[in-house]
Structure 1
Amino acid sequence: MVKAILDMLGLPGRSMKKDPEVALAYRIFGPDGRDETDELRARLRAARQSSEIAPAANLVRVCADGDSWINILWPWSKLFGHEKTFFDVIEENVSYYSRSVGYPGDTLADMLAARDYRQPLDSGIFDYFIFSGGGNDVLGGSALVALLRDRQAVGSSPDPHDCIDPDALATAVATLASNYDFIARDVRAADTGVTMLVHGYDYPAPRAGQPWLAVPFTAKGYDLTADKELIAAILRHLVDAFYDMLEGVAGKHAHVQVVNLRNVVDGRWNDELHPQEAASVDLAAKFSERMPTAPVA
């Protein structure tokens, strides 16, 4: 569906660039260099709202909202070196009827404000709702800078936990938990029969010069080569904290399930935080394990 809408909107001459301050978020620029991110979001939203949602009685029905792990504007984004997301893979599976309201310029705060997921869920036809959001709050950009302690302040052989400001992390995780709790309750109010599937990403790896991980670590005095193992341990700690938060939310809501994607990408990164297509296929398989191939009555 996204491809059809993009074809209709027309994107020749436009470009997409990573937002250096907000992990997993992109800005879209017009031929004249003007930032069209919000404009394109509004046009996509209008196109989606005017498109019919079919009953799809013989298929498993799945909708999604989220960040660039859901929608990276494929295949247009291929021009800029991006590859399919796991939800692009799901959309190509003929066993599923799928709808996405995700947008690669959205933060979790944007998703909460817009609540675009209500549009498909209010139809009452979907069996599963996949949600992907919050990575921008802990996994990169300015959020990571706020969490990291200076390298020189943690000694020569630090524990990765000591490299993170515990109060800042606790605040970030508490905010995430509150936001996910709201969305879980809102989803339940929209459709009492839908199952909500969430994830906490995979263990990422910085790349020299790239904005979301490498630049924040370097700015805090970490050496990407000498501190490689320490940095990996720090990122594992952050991702694990994200999953712990999700498990807490799922424990309060019977319709929420956590899909564990850790160690699935296994080095197959297209950039610091986005998987290559081969990894996306494996990530999609993790979700398919939770969604039966026979339709839910």
Structure 2
Amino acid sequence: MSKPLIVIEGDSWERLPNFGAKSLPIVGGTGYDLGRGLEDLGYPVENIAYWGDTIAEIWRIKDYRRALRDTGAKHFLLGGGGNDLLGEGRLQTFLRLYEKGRKTEDYFKPGFYKALDDVMDTYKLILHDVYDRPEFRDVTVIVHGYDYAKPMKLGWIGEPMAMQGIDEYHPKLQDALVKYMIDHFNERLADLRRYWPKLVHVDFRGMVKGRWHDELHPRKEAFVDLALHLSQSI
């Protein structure tokens, strides 16, 4: 039995440039992604994702409309949000300075929750745009969060934390802050099912198991497992 075609839109988790395994960590050179993982499982894909894209940019351009129309696909994998929250070192603006004994949740300024609200509001705009159109009535939208990334001395997580005094000498706190953000992101995504019961949320938390190429991108062997896990929802 042939597998269904999937339209894929998102960020670098959906599509990475093929820089190869020896590339610098800053460019996410894993040579693999969720799109290629699904292809290797035998799924035909129309991958319009682009590394570095924000969910706001995806909404602005709306390329998914054309892809869904042209292919007639009934499955739409939608990823994104990480670049909106972490791009250009924004994490530093979300965190308070290190203070011994400060609780994890007390490190986050209101700006973090506002930025997360903006991401989720944009997801809602895209979902309304899909589900309110009769031509896409039978499409199943699949969304996913991210896993608990490992802070390194890079510009997305480790360096912004270090600028606030939360450096490599506080690894447990760094991990706790990442967990807090990833949990909130996933919980907010899953909550969208209250409005769109047909929406599928895939939870990747705890699956990478330390197999990180850099702060944001799993290595190929982890992406293989993530794609297999995702395929169970198709």
With normalisation by structure 2, the TM-score equals 0.91
Q: Which has the higher contact order (CA 8 A, sep 6+)?
A: 2
Aligned residues: 227
Equivalence for 2:55: 108
- The C-alpha deviation readout for 1:81-100, integer Å capped at 9, x for no partner, is 51211221112222x11111
- For residues 181 and 108 of structure 1, the distance between their equivalents in structure 2, rounded to whole angstroms, comes to 11
- The C-alpha deviation readout for 1:63-122, integer Å capped at 9, x for no partner, is 110111111123x4556251211221112222x111110011312221111111111112
Letter in structure 1 aligned against 2:38? I
- The C-alpha deviation readout for 1:8-32, integer Å capped at 9, x for no partner, is xxxxxxxxxxxxxxxxxxxxxxxxx
Equivalence for 1:181: 124
1:191 maps onto 2:136 in alignment: yes
Equivalence for 2:12: 68
Structure 1: gaps (5+ residues): 1-56, 292-297
- For residues 86 and 193 of structure 2, the distance between their equivalents in structure 1, rounded to whole angstroms, comes to 21
Percent of aligned pairs sharing the same letter: 30
Equivalence for 2:146: 201
- For residues 276 and 58 of structure 1, the distance between their equivalents in structure 2, rounded to whole angstroms, comes to 28
Equivalence for 2:76: 129
Q: Which runs of 4+ in 1 moved over 4 A?
A: 76-79
**Structure 1 residue 240, shift from structure 2 partner:** 0.8
- Is the Cα–Cα contact under 8 Å of residues 147 and 206 in structure 2 kept in the other structure? yes
- 1:96-245 superposed matches below 5 A: 96-123=43-70, 125-139=72-86, 141-151=88-98, 155-165=99-109, 167-188=110-131, 189=133, 190-208=135-153, 210-224=154-168, 226-245=169-188
Q: Say if 1:148 and 1:245 are closer, same or farther in 2 by CA, change over 3 A.
A: same
Structure 2: gaps (5+ residues): none
Letter in structure 2 aligned against 1:194? V
Q: Say if 1:124 and 1:277 are closer, same or farther in 2 by CA, change over 3 A.
A: closer
- Is the Cα–Cα contact under 8 Å of residues 136 and 143 in structure 1 kept in the other structure? no
Letter in structure 1 aligned against 2:9? D
Q: Secondary structure of 2:205's match?
A: coil
**Structure 1 residue 139, shift from structure 2 partner:** 4.1
- For residues 215 and 137 of structure 2, the distance between their equivalents in structure 1, rounded to whole angstroms, comes to 37
1:283 maps onto 2:226 in alignment: yes
- For residues 100 and 2 of structure 2, the distance between their equivalents in structure 1, rounded to whole angstroms, comes to 60
- The C-alpha deviation readout for 1:30-57, integer Å capped at 9, x for no partner, is xxxxxxxxxxxxxxxxxxxxxxxxxxx9
- For residues 60 and 273 of structure 1, the distance between their equivalents in structure 2, rounded to whole angstroms, comes to 29
- Is the Cα–Cα contact under 8 Å of residues 94 and 111 in structure 2 kept in the other structure? yes
- For residues 87 and 190 of structure 2, the distance between their equivalents in structure 1, rounded to whole angstroms, comes to 22
Q: Secondary structure of 1:60's match?
A: coil
- Is the Cα–Cα contact under 8 Å of residues 140 and 213 in structure 1 kept in the other structure? no
- For residues 99 and 78 of structure 1, the distance between their equivalents in structure 2, rounded to whole angstroms, comes to 24
- For residues 229 and 37 of structure 2, the distance between their equivalents in structure 1, rounded to whole angstroms, comes to 12
Q: What RMSD, in angstroms, separates the aligned Cα atoms of the two structures?
A: 1.7
